């Protein structure tokens, strides 16, 4: 059974950042940045943390779970919130940490690395920048519609996103996944963990999810050339949802980034290959 410690960090402007650390307190810290609408409950490789001596840190982004909503939140301010949280939990304002970011959490992982907080960044099944011209050109119009609305008519995009619920998100993920991924997501203990995390993710009327998605759907405006830490981009060959080219374009935009496509995995790569991922992060 993994050990857990709850954290409640107060920002300079009085907001609460809620998070959890899993695994041995003296272990090597790894910040996990979870995907869309999932709270600090979401982890991976929990049965390996003690063996690999990893302390996994998770945080509810503002508006998700127990973290205070921030209606003015930006990509940069979210990266700053992660830095504040990590510094408070570790008691060290200068320490950089290994980062694993999954799915829609990838953009926040990139922003954290760009801000200088990461000693390494591992993007697992990262959601691509849909607004980027090269990616947009690879996608059918229905796949770019929400991104287009987020840029041109943000109020309409907000209204659409505000209509989502935990159940709707679960159904969308399962119906859009390949057969093997969908079977994994329906399997215990993952399904119960995912459902609990989504329920917390849609706290505050889904405000955190809406803000996250608007940020991810618009142009990221991130200077990827300025990311100085090692970056690896990991995909499963059977991933049908996160990127039209399995991260090839994204990896090519990050100096020195390496990219690996696992032939025996899909979009659930983070959980089906947790040991390989954690070992690569901590080696």
Decide: 204 and 66 in contact? Cβ < 8 Å: no
Each residue's pLDDT tens digit, 200-253: 999 999 999 999 999 999 999 999 999 999 999 999 999 999 999 999 999 999
Q: How many residues does the chain have?
A: 283
**46 is in which domain, residue-wise?**
4-282
Sign of the C-alpha dihedral computed for residues 71, 74, 92 and 231 taken in this order = positive
**How many CB atoms are closer than 10 A to CB 114?**
22
Burial of 137 (0-12, 13-18, 19+ CB in 10 A): exposed
Overall number of domains in the chain: 1
- Residue 1's pLDDT is what? 43
How would you write the pLDDT of the chain (283 residues) with one tens digit per residue? 458 999 999 999 999 999 999 999 999 999 999 999 999 999 999 999 999 999 999 999 999 999 999 999 999 999 999 999 999 999 988 889 999 999 999 999 999 999 999 999 999 999 999 999 999 999 999 999 999 999 999 999 999 999 999 999 999 999 999 999 999 999 999 999 999 999 999 999 999 999 999 999 999 999 999 999 999 999 999 999 999 999 999 999 999 999 999 999 999 999 999 999 999 999 8
- Residue 2's pLDDT is what? 55
CATH number at residue 204: 3.40.50.1820
Decide: 234 and 122 in contact? Cβ < 8 Å: yes
Q: Which pTM value belongs to this model?
A: 0.97
Q: Which residues pair with 10 in a beta bridge?
A: 16
């Amino acid at each position: 059974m993994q050990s857990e410690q709850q954290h409640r960090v107060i920002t300079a402007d009085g907001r609460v950042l809620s998070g959890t650390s899993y695994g041995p307190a003296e272990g090597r810290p790894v910040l996990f940045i979870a995907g869309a609408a999932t709270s600090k409950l979401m982890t991976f490789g929990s049965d390996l943390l003690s063996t690999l001596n990893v302390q996994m840190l998770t945080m509810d982004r503002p508006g998700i779970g127990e973290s205070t909503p921030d209606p003015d939140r930006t990509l940069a301010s979210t990266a700053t919130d992660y830095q504040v949280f990590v510094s408070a939990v570790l008691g060290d304002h200068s320490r950089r940490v290994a980062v694993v970011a999954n799915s829609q959490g990838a953009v926040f992982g990139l922003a954290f690395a760009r801000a200088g907080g990461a000693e390494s960044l591992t993007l697992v099944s990262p959601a691509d920048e849909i607004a980027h011209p090269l990616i947009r050109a690879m996608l059918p119009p229905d796949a770019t519609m929400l991104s287009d609305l987020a840029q041109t008519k943000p109020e309409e995009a907000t209204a659409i996103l505000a209509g989502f619920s935990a159940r709707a998100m679960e159904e969308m993920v399962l119906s859009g996944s390949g057969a093997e991924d969908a079977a994994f997501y329906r399997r215990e203990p993952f399904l119960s963990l995912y459902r609990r995390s989504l329920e917390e993710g849609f706290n505050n009327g889904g405000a955190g999810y809406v803000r996250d998605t608007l940020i991810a759907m618009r142009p990221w405006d991130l200077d990827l050339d300025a990311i100085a830490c090692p970056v690896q981009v990991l995909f499963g060959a059977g991933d049908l949802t996160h990127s039209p080219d399995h991260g090839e374009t994204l990896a090519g935009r990050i100096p020195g980034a390496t990219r690996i496509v696992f032939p025996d995995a899909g979009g659930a790569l983070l959980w089906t290959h947790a040991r390989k991922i954690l070992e690569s992060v901590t080696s």
